[in-house]
Chain A
Amino acid sequence: MSDYLEKLPGFVDTIKSIQETVITNIVLIGQTPAPTFKEKQRTSIFMERLAEFQVDECTTDGYRNPIGIIKGTSESKPPIFVVAHLDTIFDKDVDHYYSIQENTIMGAGIIDNSVGVGVLASLPEIFRRLGLRFESDIVLAGVIQSLGKGNLRGIRHLLKTWTTPIRGAVCIEGAELGRLNYYADGMIRCEIDCNISPVGGFKHKFKPNAILIINEVINQIMQLRLPQKPRSRVIIGKTSGGFKHGMIAYDASLGLEIQSNSDKMVKSIFNSIKDIVEGTSHEYEVDLKLNTLSNIHAAKLQFNHPLVKSAVNVMKKLDLTPVSGPSESELSIFLSRNIPSITLGITRGENHHQQNARVEIEPIFTGITQIIGVIMAIDNGACDE
């Protein structure tokens, strides 16, 4: 059963021997801009690379998620999904050209998620080099519209329209190597927008200031009493507003996420914030709106699930220490459909969501090996119970 574990350390050097191909995939795909909702160009490059590496099928689903399929030896075993999201947070006019140094790759979106997508495109060649065949078909999916307002639409659509059972899934992210996500918190991501009409601006010297209104909303959210159980939190993630230093702000907005391992609690906190917004709007006589951008349900595998245990064993075999935490990514959609799945990171990085994000090259080969180890575990039946 665990024969495959013994083989893993030896895989690292074989994968490293084609480092130029892995890095080329990361660079060629990552240098193609793919802001959420505008992933078409990156989709084409990703499919070109999959076709180059001669997957058995290369296509897009009805939502334009690009997919490559490597046929398995068994007619009856359901497929194993390996998934990485294609979109990034960077606009098209941002310089996406990467710089490679002695042991690093630097550039916009490299961590989230060019490394993941580049590795995904490299897997067919890596399997070939390692002489690996699987019983299950391996479905390599680069999913679109994942981040922010994308609200994981790509993976939602892919799974909704995939009519046959799925054996298990591995979601891959650029960093951090050692992460092992097997549960997803419930989450609502929302934006609060404050707009104050500039009409009649000359006559009113003391018009309400949109930034101060948003500030008031933040203060009230901070006063909410959140329980430790179920574990819950509100993350104030983004703010913007105003025009210039000497002018009262007419517009301001606040982006936040409510997270909890209880869907009920997420809903309850959301209702409290809704009350705060409505109350503030009424009290200050301003236009204050709460918009929901996305939401996901809490779902989890137990720590003693064979997939999680296998992943821990794979990581330990490669001298990695598993670090667990919730993940609000493609994982949550798989889990919510009762498909056993985990998320793994490929390498170590810094400046995660900045233009000068940087990843280390050397750990990538161990990161890929652990993904292969988990695919082998699933193919050996880790998700079949």
Chain B
Amino acid sequence: MNKSWIDNNTFHYSKFSDLHRLVNEKQRKNLTISLCLPTLNEEKTIAKEILIMKSELMTRYPLIDEIVVVDSGSTDKTREIARGYGADVYEASEIFPHLDKFVGKGENLWKALYITKGDIIVYLDADIKNIHHRFAYALLGPLILYDRIKYVKAFYDRPIAIGKSKIRPTGGGRVTELVVRPLFSLFFPDLTQILQPLSGEYAGYREIFEHIPFPIGYGVETSMILDIYEKWGLDVIAQVDLDRRIHRNRDTKALGRMAFAILQTFIERKIKLGLVDYKEKLYDEMIQFNLVKGEYKPDIYKIVGLERPPIIEISEYRKKFKRALQKRPHAIAGETDVLG
């Protein structure tokens, strides 16, 4: 394992707290930045994220140029509230309406590439209770200040909310430690240096995101890392310590389904890359048993490993971003111009 990556590409958010410097550098490089919040029933937290980002990184420091919410069909007031506080709100199903419709975080992230304008896109989960503008500026810092870095991932201490009014000081990251880290250790030891590969907060240049496929569901974070690593190597990736992130606690069964989707993505990537030769078709159902009135009954969840292709392959996208694509045919070392 090449341990120099973790020494050179790991930062603390405080390194990027000089927002004047980030804004100056952004303007000097003539960059535009979009913040995207994928949502599904996030009425309790969405307004706070929008307000804080808008106040600190748009009104006071013009670092972010737009805040976009891509919603998976919330049944609560998420969209109304987000719109009321000034975000551009889209329903995922209305973007590329002629394509098959899927519901999932990865679907929203992928579609956001089409409706956002930024050269850099920051993705933040919309359920962060202790949201602070460092969540965005710290992810942007390495991208703006270091030309070699094209994709930045967050890591934290992860306290979890238990019940309505109490917080447990440690915990979370169970799927990372029990599933992703063992897999990375077995197959890609270099990637174990990424401390929280499943964190939902990351940012990167459009030219990265548009060239990789996006799984529809939970596998999106894992696949993103594997694809970026495979295409451009570890050195374009950085990670930033964002201190603490308070999030909802998920039960073990929900984590089990998450782990299923991640394993599914991982194995399919391995097959695609020709790294394993698996003779049989993988099953696409997660089966969990419950004891109901003295009888064991299975809960069966179908988790189909669907993924969207690199968005650069979609003609509407190429048309919309034609000018931008012409400006940067070989922006990343080793990458060929998809448009030829």
Contact = CB atoms under 8 A, between A and B. Distances in A.
Given A28-B52, A31-B130, A100-B47, A94 B84 contact: no
- Counting chain B CB atoms within 10 Å of each CB, the highest count among A23, A99, A100, A108 belongs to A100
A21 B55 contact: yes
Interface in A86-139: 93-95, 97-102, 108
A355 interface: yes
Which of B48, B54, B80, B132 is packed against the most chain A CB atoms within 10 Å? B48
Contacts of A100: 47-48, 51, 81, 85
Contacts of B85: 20, 100
Contact of A24 (B44, B55, B77, B129): B55
Contacts, number: 59
A27 B51 CA distance: 10
Nearest to A20: B55
Contact of A95 (B47, B52, B165): B165
B246 interface: yes
Task: Select the residue from B55, B59, B77, B246 with max chain A CB neighbours within 10 A.
Answer: B55
A159 interface: no
Given A21-B55, A355-B165, A97 B130 contact: yes
B241 interface: no
B21 to A, nearest CB: 15
A18 interface: yes
Contact of A94 (B44, B48, B165, B246): B165
A24 B55 CA distance: 7
Contacts of A31: 130
A19 B84 CA distance: 12
Contacts of B166: 93-95
Interface in A4-21: 18-21
Interface string A272-306: 00000000000000000000000000000000000
Contacts of B43: 101
B45 A102 contact: no
Given A20-B51, A20-B59, A95 B44 contact: no
Interface in B41-67: 43-45, 47-48, 51-52, 54-56, 59-60
Nearest to A125: B60
B164 interface: yes
A110 to B, nearest CB: 13
B135 to A, nearest CB: 13
B338 interface: no
B246 A24 contact: no
B81 A27 contact: no
A161 to B, nearest CB: 33
Contacts of A355: 164-165
Interface string A341-381: 00000000000000100000000000000000000000000
Contacts of A95: 161, 164-167
A355 B163 CA distance: 13
A99 B48 contact: yes
**What does DSSP make chain B's interface, helix, strand, loop or mixed?**
mixed
Range class of the A interface residue count: 20 to 34
A114 B161 CA distance: 22
Contact of B45 (A19, A21, A99): A99
Contacts of A27: 48, 51-52
Contacts of B165: 94-95, 108, 355
A28 B52 CA distance: 9
Interface in A205-243: none
A27 B133 CA distance: 12
B56 A24 contact: yes
A28 B131 CA distance: 9
A18 B80 CA distance: 20
Given A27-B48, A99-B48, A101-B43, A20 B84 contact: no
Contacts of B55: 18, 20-21, 23-24
Contacts of A94: 165-166
Contacts of B130: 31, 97
B47 A24 contact: no
B217 to A, nearest CB: 27
Contact of B81 (A18, A20, A97, A101): A101
Contact of A102 (B44, B52, B80): B80
A98 B52 CA distance: 12
Interface string B164-177: 11110000000000
A95 B55 CA distance: 24
A94 B165 CA distance: 6
Contacts of A101: 43, 47, 77, 81
Interface string B122-152: 0000000110100000000000000000000
Interface of A: 18-21, 23-24, 27-28, 31, 93-95, 97-102, 108, 355
Given A20-B52, A20-B54, A95-B164, 15 more contacts: A18-B59, A20-B55, A20-B85, A21-B60, A23-B51, A24-B55, A24-B56, A27-B48, A93-B167, A95-B161, A97-B246, A99-B44, A100-B81, A102-B84, A355-B165
26 contacts: A18-B59, A20-B51, A20-B52, A20-B55, A20-B59, A21-B55, A21-B59, A24-B51, A24-B52, A24-B56, A27-B48, A27-B51, A31-B130, A93-B167, A95-B164, A95-B165, A97-B129, A97-B161, A98-B48, A99-B44, A99-B48, A100-B47, A100-B48, A100-B85, A101-B77, A108-B165
